[in-house]
Amino acid sequence: MPTHLRRHDEPGDSHFWTISCLRRLAFFHDDGMKLVVVEGLRVLQQRYGACLIGYVIMPEHLHLLIYPHARGDDQPIPISTLLHAFKKHVGFHGKQRLRDVWRARGQLWSKPLNTWARGDKREQSIWTVRGYDFNVRSDEKLREKLDYCHKNPLTRGLVERAEDWPWSSYRFYEFGDESVLKMDWDGCWPIIW
């Protein structure tokens, strides 16, 4: 694994993130955990003013398209700042959710997660250390990544139609459904925020 992660915080660039759970454990199989992720995305919108373009929450990872600029600011918010805030929020509140489930049921929803829960508390991270951050510099690439997000649950066989997976931005763009999370992008290129 490289020792120096390079992120490119370029003015005007959007970013496509892939963030995986530790050892690809299905932490987000539970809808309560998915809601914790949604709240983490709202932190990026409300605390930092970043423009959310699209997302999908899968059982063991998520994808996010984000324009990391506060409204009206030409300089990007450092990706490291946004990732840290998001992972910290989901890690803290996600562990609370997992403890609540453990107390109520005496187990989580899979044997690997039960093993994780019984493990060393100092090593109970939800996230892998690294993730994937891709700078998006064209309308074509942005739409390709957004389409990838929306097709991910179908590709994995979780649903038969994209609209049946409530944990992505598909329903927002297709039906104007803001019930889970409102996106900020108006569909225009270049992004004016």
Q: Is the peptide bond before 190 cis (omega within 30 degrees of 0)?
A: yes
Query: Domain range for residue 66?
Result: 14-175
Domain membership flag for residue 73: yes
Place of tokens 């020792």: 3
- Tell me what the mean pLDDT of segment 68-80 comes to: 95
Query: pTM for the whole thing?
Result: 0.94
Domain membership flag for residue 112: yes
Domain membership flag for residue 181: no
pLDDT at 151 over 90: yes
Domain membership flag for residue 43: yes
Determine the pLDDT at residue 120: 80
What pLDDT, in 10s, does the model give residues 38-72? Answer: 999 999 999 999 999 999 999 999 999 999 999 99
Determine the pLDDT at residue 58: 98
Domain membership flag for residue 134: yes
What's CA 182's distance to the chain center, in Å?
14
For the chain, how many structural domains are there in total?
Answer: 1
Q: How far apart are CA 28 and CA 35, in angstroms?
A: 9
Domain membership flag for residue 86: yes
Determine the pLDDT at residue 119: 85
CB atoms within 10 A of CB 139: 13
pLDDT band at 177 (very low <50, low <70, confident <90, very high): very high
CATH number of the domain residue 23 falls in: 3.30.70.1290
Domain membership flag for residue 151: yes
pLDDT at 132 over 80: yes
Contacts 24+ apart (CB under 8 A), 160-164: none
Domain membership flag for residue 144: yes
Q: How far apart are CA 98 and CA 51, in angstroms?
A: 29
pLDDT band at 131 (very low <50, low <70, confident <90, very high): confident
Determine the pLDDT at residue 1: 41
What pLDDT, in 10s, does the model give residues 1-40? Answer: 445 556 689 999 999 999 999 999 999 999 999 999 999 9
Determine the pLDDT at residue 6: 61
Specify the range with the lowest mean pLDDT, choosing from 2-16, 155-169, 172-186.
Answer: 2-16
Determine the pLDDT at residue 4: 52
